[in-house]
């Protein structure tokens, strides 16, 4: 898997279809990595998980724009940020809480 999107898709699919963290509940299904299923419902849940992660990433970046711009300038100047110096920058990053850790549709399978 070369692209970030391919890796994120495989992770989201694994969460939903292999690792017991999705609509199927705490069940190990042992499928190969990838989308795990061609079932439209599974694909829809994986897509929703990816879209939620993308929205959260955007919110984190937007909330921290000023710090990140300053951090980028410091990185250009120093050519490397590591150790305590990097830690000081990362301490300034505002945390954005997750809206939901449950995959869409998970409550439907729990009722079945």
Low-confidence ranges of the chain (pLDDT < 70): 1, 16-38, 99-112
Average pLDDT over the chain, rounded to whole? 75
pTM of the predicted model as reported, rounded to 2 decimal places: 0.54
pLDDT 10s digits, 6-17? 888 888 777 766
pLDDT 10s digits, 47-67? 788 788 888 888 999 999 999
Neighbours of 7 (CB within 10 A): 12
Distance CA 53, CA 99 (A): 10
């Amino acid at each position: 898997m070369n692209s970030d999107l391919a890796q994120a898709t495989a992770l989201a699919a694994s969460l939903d279809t292999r690792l017991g963290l999705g609509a199927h509940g705490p069940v190990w299904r042992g499928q190969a990595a990838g989308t795990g299923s061609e079932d439209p419902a599974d694909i829809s849940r994986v897509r929703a998980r990816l879209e939620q992660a993308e929205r959260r990433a955007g919110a984190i970046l937007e909330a921290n724009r000023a710090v990140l711009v300053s951090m980028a300038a410091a990185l250009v100047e120093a050519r490397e940020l590591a150790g305590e110096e990097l830690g000081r920058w990362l301490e300034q990053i505002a945390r954005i809480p997750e809206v939901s850790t449950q995959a869409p549709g998970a409550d439907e399978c729990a009722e079945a």
